[in-house]
């Protein structure tokens, strides 16, 4: 019997919609064994390990949530080395992965969940190639869309503040509300957030560099334009930026929306810091402050992901 595993976050601000649009239709499926896994309030790595233990060869994995939930599911699948297909449904604030895969929620008699199941049955699949990020020589995370180090990474912590979470639970969701919260954070915190001194691919990073950005998909935070490197097995785009002054951030934001980020195509980036440092890192909805970082390496994952295309 075919098996579906639904991965979702029960503490999501859009959990009621997940119940109605995903979990309820799943109960009506015939000819499928349907399981569900709720993301636990523990930590990122614990959830990844739990997903890795649950998946089996031949499974259809449906992820209903924001980019953080999607990141957990994808990292769990890649860590498991199982041959599965993944479908993504957007129930978050930015939903970069779902938008990259053209797999967002739909309105109508047929739910987006049902369309993903139909796509899987029809064999509508595509292969994508995530970024593979390592820190001090140890694997840290797979990232389908993007990875950042520095000021932009740290700004994402505002989404975890109780004030912002309260607004999200009250229904103030979406890209605009999230961007307003991020702008407010930037205006309070932008002056002292520079990357530690170091080099990118053996070339010294400019003084007062605030950010390193690696991009694999067409969007970062929904609005900044990237590219379609997620379809390429080796290449991605990257850049360093100085965003410590307000006018620099404004210029960066307007350019990234209008014409796209100023990215250089590469197959590997190696960041080395002059001394072991504390740095802020972010990949698709998940933030971490890492200590004693000497080297960060970004390249393409050796293994591709099998993604379901909606019918």
Those residues whose C-beta lies under 8 Å from the C-beta of residue 45, and which sit 6 or more positions away, are: none
Which pLDDT tens digit goes with each residue over 249-267?
889 989 999 999 999 999 9
Write the secondary structure of 113-153 as one string of H (helix), E (strand) and C (coil): HHHHHHHHHCCCEEEECCEEEEECCEEEEEECCEEEEEHHH
Half-sphere exposure of 297 (CA within 13 A, CB side): 12
Give the residue-averaged pLDDT of 198-227: 94
Q: What is the pLDDT of residue 63?
A: 94
Q: Give 192's pLDDT tier (boundaries 50, 70, 90).
A: low
Those residues whose C-beta lies under 8 Å from the C-beta of residue 49, and which sit 6 or more positions away, are: 76, 79
Residue 39 DSSP code: P
Q: Evaluate if residue 158 carries a pLDDT over 70.
A: no
Give the residue-averaged pLDDT of 170-180: 56
**Least trusted range by pLDDT, from 113-117, 126-130, 279-283:** 113-117
Residue with tokens 């970062």: 220
Instruction: Note the pTM of the prediction, 2 decimals.
Output: 0.88
Q: Evaluate if residue 229 carries a pLDDT over 90.
A: yes
Q: What is the pLDDT of residue 309?
A: 87
Q: What is the pLDDT of residue 246?
A: 86
- Helix (H) or strand (E) run with residue 249 in it: helix 246-258
Q: What is the pLDDT of residue 271?
A: 98
Q: What is the pLDDT of residue 164?
A: 46
Sort 191 into a burial class: Cβ within 10 Å, 0-12 / 13-18 / 19+: exposed
The string of DSSP codes covering 55-88 is: --TTPEEEEEE-HHHHHHHHHHHHHHT---EEEE
Those residues whose C-beta lies under 8 Å from the C-beta of residue 264, and which sit 6 or more positions away, are: 237, 238, 239
Q: Evaluate if residue 276 carries a pLDDT over 60.
A: yes
Q: What is the pLDDT of residue 172?
A: 45
Q: What is the pLDDT of residue 176?
A: 58
Q: Evaluate if residue 140 carries a pLDDT over 80.
A: yes
Q: Evaluate if residue 174 carries a pLDDT over 60.
A: no
Give the residue-averaged pLDDT of 141-152: 95
Which pLDDT tens digit goes with each residue over 29-55?
989 999 999 999 999 999 999 999 999
Which pLDDT tens digit goes with each residue over 43-98?
999 999 999 999 999 999 999 988 999 999 999 999 999 999 999 998 887 788 88
Residue 284 DSSP code: T
Q: What is the pLDDT of residue 49?
A: 96
Q: List the one residue out of 242, 281, 297 whose CA is nearest residue 155.
A: 281
Q: Give 161's pLDDT tier (boundaries 50, 70, 90).
A: very low
Cα–Cα distance, 112 to 66 (Å, whole number): 15
Q: What is the pLDDT of residue 99?
A: 85
Q: What is the pLDDT of residue 93?
A: 76
């Amino acid at each position: 019997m075919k098996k579906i595993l639904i991965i979702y976050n029960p503490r999501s601000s859009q959990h009621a919609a997940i119940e109605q649009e995903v979990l309820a239709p799943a109960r009506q499926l015939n000819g499928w064994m349907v399981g569900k896994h709720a993301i636990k309030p523990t930590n990122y790595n614990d959830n990844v390990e739990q997903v890795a233990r649950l998946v089996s060869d031949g499974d259809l994995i449906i992820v209903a949530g924001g980019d953080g939930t999607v990141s957990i599911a994808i990292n769990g699948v890649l860590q498991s080395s199982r041959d599965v297909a993944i479908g993504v449904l957007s129930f978050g604030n930015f939903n970069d992965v779902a938008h990259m895969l053209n797999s967002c929620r739909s309105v109508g008699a047929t739910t987006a969940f049902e369309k993903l199941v139909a796509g899987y049955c029809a064999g509508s699949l595509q292969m994508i190639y995530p970024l593979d990020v390592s820190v001090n020589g140890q694997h840290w995370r797979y990232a389908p869309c993007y990875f950042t180090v520095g000021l932009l990474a740290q700004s994402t912590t505002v989404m975890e503040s109780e004030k912002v979470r309260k607004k999200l639970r009250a229904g103030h969701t979406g890209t605009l509300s999230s961007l307003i919260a991020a702008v407010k954070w930037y205006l309070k915190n932008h002056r002292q957030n520079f990357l530690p001194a170091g080099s990118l691919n053996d070339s010294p990073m400019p003084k007062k560099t605030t950010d390193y950005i690696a991009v694999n998909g067409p969007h970062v935070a929904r609005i900044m334009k990237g590219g379609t490197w997620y379809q390429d097995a080796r290449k991605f785009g990257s850049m360093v930026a100085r965003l410590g002054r307000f006018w620099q951030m404004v210029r960066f934001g307007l350019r990234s929306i209008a014409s796209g980020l100023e990215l250089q195509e590469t197959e590997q980036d190696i960041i080395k810091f002059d001394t072991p440092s504390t740095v802020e890192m972010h990949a698709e909805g998940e933030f971490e402050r890492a200590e004693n970082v000497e080297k960060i390496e970004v390249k393409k994952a050796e293994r591709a992901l099998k993604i379901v295309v909606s019918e």
